[in-house]
Amino acid sequence: MLKTFEYLQPKTLEEALSMMKSCKGSFRLIAGGTDVIVQIRSGKTPPDYLISLKALNKELGILEEKEEGLDIGALVTHRILEKSPTIQKEYAALYDGVSQVGSVQVRNVGTIGGNVCSSLPSADSAAPLLILGAKLNIVGDREESICIEEFFTGPGENILKNNQILKSIFIPKLPKNSNSAYEKLGRRKAMEIPVVGAASYIQVDKKTGICLDARIALASSAPTPIRCYKAEQTLVGQSAEKEIFVKAGKLAAQEANPRTSFRATEEYRRSVIPVLVERSLSRSLNRIKK
Amino acid sequence: MKKSISLTINGTKVDAEVDQNITLLSFIRDEMGLMGTKEGCGTGDCGACTVIIDGLAVKSCIYLAVEADGKEITTIEGLSIDGELHPIQQAFVEEGAVQCGFCIPGTILSAKALLDENEDPTEEEIKKGIAGNLCRCTGYVRIIKAIKKSAKVLQKAK
Amino acid sequence: MAYRVVGRSVARNDVIDKVTGRAKYAPDVVIPHMLHGKILFSPYASARIINIDTSLAKSLLGVRAVITGKDVPYTYGSVIKDRPIFAQDVVRYQGEPIVGIVADSEVIAEEALNLIKIEYEEKEPILDPFEAMKADSSLLHADLGSYQHNKITYPEAETNICSHYKLRKGNVDDAFEKSDYIFEGEFSSQMIQHAFIEPIVAVADADNVTKRITIWSTACNPFVIRKELSSAFNIPMGKIRMIVNNVGGSFGGKAYSKIEPHVAALSLACSAPVRLALTREEVFNLIVRGPGHFKIKTGLMKDGTIVARKIETVWDTGAYAECGPVIARNSGHTAAGPYRIPNVKIDAYCVYTNKNIAGAFRGYGVQEATWAVESHMDDIAREMDIDPYDLRKKNILHYGDEGATGQIVEGTGLEQCLDAAWEAVNRKEIKRKSGSKLMGRGMACVHKATLAPSVSSAIIKLSEDGTATLLTSTTEQGQGATTVMAQIIAEELGLPYEEIYVSGTDTDYTPYDTTTTASRSTFSMGNAVLLAARDIKEQLMIIAAEYIGVDKDELTFEFGKIKVSSQPEKSYTIKEIVSKYYGLNGTLIGRGLYRPDSVPEDSETGQSTKITPFWMYGTQAAEVEIDIETGEINVLKLVAAHDMGSAINPMNCRQQLEGAALQGIGNTLYEEIKLNDKGITVNPNFHDYKIPTAMDSVEIESILIESQQKDGPYGAKGVGEPALAPTGPAIRNAILDALNIGLNHLPLTQEKILAAIEENKEKLEGC
């Protein structure tokens, strides 16, 4: 049995937003609940109200492929993304990330919106979304779309206000001759949060092999998931091959700001970031070649 | 405060008034008396509490009972029918996949959910499918063998 | 000799209940009108309690009892009686029980817990055992000198050393003088946890007037706990009833009293049934395997013959002794390694610190000592440029050799294990290098004693339909003991295996068994069961003679049938004899009592001609690959060859080897209980305390060596524990083989491996 709270289940997004406004006392939104229930059980911050988004599947649970890209409702589970052929083929880094969240049972329930809104530096979906150019669709007093880079503000913190809900995530269609990958290093091979995670996206000129565009992002390497802009820049205009990937990896490690915790030291994280970045880039490149 | 929920457990329709703050695990064990679903950690890590909800394996210790409203749930007690073991259970017996047995109901349900959606999984897919079910006794060797075997039996039966 | 049931991999007799979810464990026990208990544990590792105010908690609606150390001023402990049930003014570790609450529900109990106000005077905890051993260290137990303790514990009063075990054989100083080579090494093993999946739960139903106490619990030695409770509460043993059904894994972690004294106190306080269920976090804080430190020095002759070995070990046992002194002592039986060494000196110090309490873990003392000595063996081999296999082969204990404890080796299985494991792992050539990965192979041997002295007793009830029920107090923890016992009865009496039923443990009804630990059940209880079956057989012959009307000497018993020498064409079944004899209804009762031989050790030298009824032997070999860019390690294959005397149920034996092997991989590579500088556990959960998942499982080849234990039932001995110990050093030695780098301190995390690679870049050249 958990600490006492009142459970509210709005039927529409509008109702949810108005409940959030009228709530007298603290509340938490709950989607899959895989993080929230554990936190309530640990008793640290029991809220007065739990506002469940489970009934909002029609508004928040749609995975839709459009001309210009992919719309992912915040309530779409990791498991649905993992099994989507579109994600597997066209947004491979996201597949790499979401297919390694917790275990099947957690992925069946846990949502992409929840993973992003928990805003942990170790979130497996965050680094892939960062390199895929994701935009977050947020509703509150008004609806707005922001780049995911602007979302995270600290460990477990983001820009969402008390009256806002993450509605969906949009990922633009990738151009030709581009691909992505996410490399995760954990202590064991499953049920793991990353010691370091590295996502990459590159686009190459098929004829010359020159890198036309690149994005790199890291998990568990700073207080938030981060982009590594200097590392990206060093790739553009260069021949896409191991040598330059290694250089990018080293730059990424310089841009990172990892911390020492009982899970791993700062030094260790710094020394594996270049390796993971290089491996991620190589895998992205191999995927283009295929 | 209590809420009324209506759900199906192992094919039987159940209407119940539940506290808002109890987990599905606690509902299944304490209210329904189905003790085959185990609590190993209460934090969604060990998988001993795995049940199947609408075809999906779920850890019932991190799932609120109120959210099971309208769902169809299978627990380990719902697997054997008319005194006959389910082929997965039978394979666990034959392959020696069981030691202390505490993780086994959850593992069998994860295996069932896996085989229901993928009738011929590779060894890697089996391992991934049960990675959320910790077992400290067996080293998983025979559990994996048993799932492979039951996949074959189930395919034949089709 | 060919057997019909023994030696066959019959399906376990508990398996149907376990796959259908019907098997009952202590957490499933529900008593009508049962109340719920909760314990307030200390948040500090070291403190003095100034004041406890429970008034608010007591006045909360639904609270039935609130008790503190003042209400139950009792201590317990089988090895050293040093442990209060609830703290008496002093807090010695984080997680020390301070207040117990009984309420109508767990939620109310928890609410009441938050209403308790305790004033502590926090003190600097002693977390380093070497500091604790210093003469000027403050004392955790000022009264150590006056505590009751068992005969194999050697406390040093006015210190934090709760036991100093000594082993002296030959003269190591002289032998070192004469040695051609001397090697020294330092090793350590970390704090880990058993991580059994079933948490610790107990239900007590006690009455404060009659003082009758019934407890359902997850215990694996209910008679030991009954004795501890009887002594603590000063209640006769007969009034205490312990019931244990299926245990969801123990690995030693559920041995000795865990929460049984607390739940008994809570139930006595309100004369009502009380359930006390620990959360996973509380389980992590309740019991661990403590850290160990080893210094080893070995003297050898030029040809590789080991002539002397000196070992000093320090065991960080935490705040209370639990079985720490026995762990230290038992490590001494193993620490010299399974080798023929004429001069051995061992000092094992078991030391109190303000840390989590160290208890039994699957071959206690042996895992840790094996880690040190088998790692040291490969270091010696490398330094002397001898093949590690040859070094072991040259020095290994053979039949007739005298081991370090003074006992003559009776079995021959060790060398067979060594050869079989090394052959199996070398069957295929390995690629030494592939991309950023380097591969290597390593091995390690183990020898382990069992518990002595000990007693097992069994009762068999033979019903008139020819089916039998065994009453035994061996607890089924997953090891398959109930299956093996049924096989022994089926074989001895010629009854169908499926028609032998085995009871759970109930100390009111099932006869005494010392403990279900130490890999002793197959041997000790197996022998008791065999004697009980023979007792039944003897009685059958007497009544058969009467029923058939012949002399007893004319009868022979052949696998369930009684034959008469004068009537070769006729035979009588057991069912026929029993049902005819009783006419209508009745049972035969067979009794078996087994006390294995052993000789107590000399307290100054540790020498004994028979320290243990039997020795277990094994060898494990590992093939690993290491990613030198990240330090990640993959165990590609693990071979476990163990001597089980004879395999009564080969599948059960393989289950033990496979399970222990993967547990060993976790212990070696990922697992560690981490404490912060205040002595507080930072990872008491399954996401940060990492045990292997199915994705981490590896190819395990189990090899059963059957050397026939002469006094074992059908030649069998124990097999449950030894396969854990050699896994670590086998992996470590494989890393040494791959990288030319020896890692001496567990766990071997990827981080540690990468750091070692970076420090020793020059050693990698040529790999």
Please state, for a pLDDT cut of 90, what percent of chain B lies above it: 96
Query: Which residues in chain A are contacts of B56 at CB distance < 8 A?
Result: 79, 108-109
For chain C, how far is it from start to end, CA to CA, in angstroms? Answer: 51
At C579 the pLDDT is 84
Q: Give the span between the Cα atoms of C373 and C350, in whole angstroms.
A: 19
Exposed (0-12), middle (13-18) or buried (19+): which is A273, by Cβ within 10 Å? buried
Q: Give the span between the Cα atoms of C85 and C71, in whole angstroms.
A: 10
Q: Give the span between the Cα atoms of A170 and A129, in whole angstroms.
A: 9
At C464 the pLDDT is 87
Nearest to C189 by CA among C376, C378, C354, C367: C367
At A24 the pLDDT is 85
Q: Which of B31, B50, B78 is the last residue of a domain?
A: B78
From C538's Cα to the closest Cα of chain A, the distance in A is: 56
Question: Same domain for B128 and B151?
Answer: yes
Question: Same domain for B51 and B12?
Answer: yes
Inter-chain touch C21–B138, beta carbons under 8 Å = no
| A168 contacts C664 by C-beta, under 8 angstroms | no
Q: Which of B26, B44, B78 is the last residue of a domain?
A: B78
Domains of chain A: residue spans and CATH: 6-56 (3.30.43.10), 57-172 (3.30.465.10), 181-289 (3.30.390.50)
At C765 the pLDDT is 76
H/E element, C515: none
Q: Encoding tokens for residue A251?
A: 């730059």
Q: Encoding tokens for residue A8?
A: 């509210």
Contacts of C53 (CB under 8 A, 6+ apart): C116, C117, C118
Query: Which residues in chain C are contacts of A272 at CB distance < 8 A?
Result: 629-631, 754
Q: Which of B36, B53, B78 is the last residue of a domain?
A: B78
From B54's Cα to the closest Cα of chain A, the distance in A is: 11
Locate the chain B residue with the closest alpha carbon to C250: B100
Query: Which residues in chain C are contacts of A263 at CB distance < 8 A?
Result: 688
Inter-chain touch C18–B46, beta carbons under 8 Å = no
Query: Which residues in chain B are contacts of A1 at CB distance < 8 A?
Result: 19, 21-23, 26
- Give the three-state DSSP class for C720: coil
Report the neighbours of A using a cutoff of 3 or more CB pairs below 8 angstroms.
B, C
Angle at C168 between CA C165 and CA C169, to 5 degrees: 150
Report the neighbours of C using a cutoff of 3 or more CB pairs below 8 angstroms.
A, B
Query: Which residues in chain B are contacts of C655 at CB distance < 8 A?
Result: 96, 99, 137-138, 142
Domains of chain C: residue spans and CATH: 31-123+200-277 (3.90.1170.50), 292-396+406-451+601-764 (3.30.365.10), 454-594 (3.30.365.10)
Question: Same domain for B114 and B68?
Answer: no
Of the partner residues A103, A188, A262, the one whose CB lies closest to the CB of residue C682: A262
Locate the chain C residue with the closest alpha carbon to A42: C281
Question: Same domain for B17 and B74?
Answer: yes
Question: Same domain for B111 and B69?
Answer: no
Q: Could you tell me how many residues make up chain B? A: 158
Question: Same domain for B59 and B109?
Answer: no
Mean pLDDT score of chain A, rounded to an integer? 96
* Residue with more model confidence, C289 or A23: C289
Q: Give the span between the Cα atoms of C505 and C481, in whole angstroms.
A: 12
| A105 contacts A92 by C-beta, under 8 angstroms | no
Domain that holds residue B7: 2-78
Q: Encoding tokens for residue B91?
A: 């394979």
Cis amide leading into C388 (omega within 30): no
Q: A–C: how many Cβ contacts below 8 A?
A: 53
Q: Encoding tokens for residue C300?
A: 């050898």
| A76 contacts A170 by C-beta, under 8 angstroms | no
Q: Encoding tokens for residue C164?
A: 């100093």
Nearest to C338 by CA among C382, C377, C292, C300: C377
At C717 the pLDDT is 97
Q: Give the span between the Cα atoms of A269 and A271, in whole angstroms.
A: 5
CATH number for B17: 3.10.20.30
Per-residue pLDDT of A35-52, as tens digits, reads 999 988 887 667 899 999
At B1 the pLDDT is 79
Mean pLDDT of B78-103: 97
Q: Give the span between the Cα atoms of C356 and C45, in whole angstroms.
A: 9
Radius of gyration of chain A (CA): 19
At A270 the pLDDT is 98
ipTM of this model?
A: 0.99
Q: Calculate the dihedral angle through the C-alpha atoms of A81, A87, A92, A95, rounding to the nearest 10 degrees.
A: 10
Inter-chain touch A272–C693, beta carbons under 8 Å = no
> Cα A133 to chain center, whole Å?
11
Inter-chain touch B96–C478, beta carbons under 8 Å = no
Inter-chain touch A188–C754, beta carbons under 8 Å = no
Question: Same domain for B55 and B73?
Answer: yes
Query: Which residues in chain A are contacts of C107 at CB distance < 8 A?
Result: 1, 3-4
Question: Same domain for B11 and B71?
Answer: yes
CA atoms within 13 A on the CB side of C737: 28
Nearest to C108 by CA among C72, C55, C58: C58
Query: Which residues in chain B are contacts of A105 at CB distance < 8 A?
Result: 44, 47, 50, 57-59, 110, 132
Strand partners, C590: C460
Locate the chain A residue with the closest alpha carbon to B117: A83
Break chain A down into helix, strand, coil percent, rounded to 5. Answer: 35, 25, 35
At A86 the pLDDT is 97
Query: Which residues in chain B are contacts of C23 at CB distance < 8 A?
Result: 101
Q: Is A268 on the interface with C (CB under 8 A)?
A: yes
Q: Is A275 on the interface with C (CB under 8 A)?
A: yes
Cis amide leading into C32 (omega within 30): no
| A218 contacts A195 by C-beta, under 8 angstroms | no
Instruction: Read off the amino acid at residue A41.
Output: R
Question: Same domain for B66 and B17?
Answer: yes
Query: Which residues in chain B are contacts of A192 at CB distance < 8 A?
Result: none
Q: Encoding tokens for residue C443?
A: 């091995």
H/E element, A63: strand A63-65
At C30 the pLDDT is 97
At C412 the pLDDT is 78
CATH number for B92: 1.10.150.120
Inter-chain touch B96–C280, beta carbons under 8 Å = no
At A1 the pLDDT is 61
**How many domains does chain B contain in total?**
2
Query: Which residues in chain B are contacts of C650 at CB distance < 8 A?
Result: none
Inter-chain touch C751–A268, beta carbons under 8 Å = yes
Question: What stretches in chain C show pLDDT beneath 70?
Answer: 1, 584, 766-767
| C695 contacts B128 by C-beta, under 8 angstroms | yes
Instruction: Read off the amino acid at residue A148.
Output: I
Radius of gyration of chain C (CA): 27
| C213 contacts C186 by C-beta, under 8 angstroms | no
Q: Encoding tokens for residue C529?
A: 């069961």
Per-residue pLDDT of A199-257, as tens digits, reads 999 999 999 999 999 999 999 999 999 999 999 999 999 999 999 999 999 999 999 99
Tell me: pLDDT of B22 over 70.
yes
| B97 contacts B58 by C-beta, under 8 angstroms | no
Inter-chain touch B67–A54, beta carbons under 8 Å = yes
At A45 the pLDDT is 63
Of the partner residues A189, A191, A262, the one whose CB lies closest to the CB of residue C674: A262
Question: Same domain for B65 and B101?
Answer: no
- Whose structure tokens read 């209804």? C585
Inter-chain touch C688–A189, beta carbons under 8 Å = no
Radius of gyration of chain B (CA): 15
Nearest to C746 by CA among C189, C361, C186, C193: C189
Q: Encoding tokens for residue C576?
A: 């026929």
At A44 the pLDDT is 65
C324-334 helix and C366-384 helix, angle to the nearest 10 degrees: 30
Nearest to C451 by CA among C350, C347, C525, C368: C525
Mean pLDDT of B99-111: 98
From A22's Cα to the closest Cα of chain B, the distance in A is: 20
Inter-chain touch A105–B50, beta carbons under 8 Å = yes
Question: Same domain for B110 and B135?
Answer: yes
Report the neighbours of B using a cutoff of 3 or more CB pairs below 8 angstroms.
A, C
Locate the chain B residue with the closest alpha carbon to A32: B63
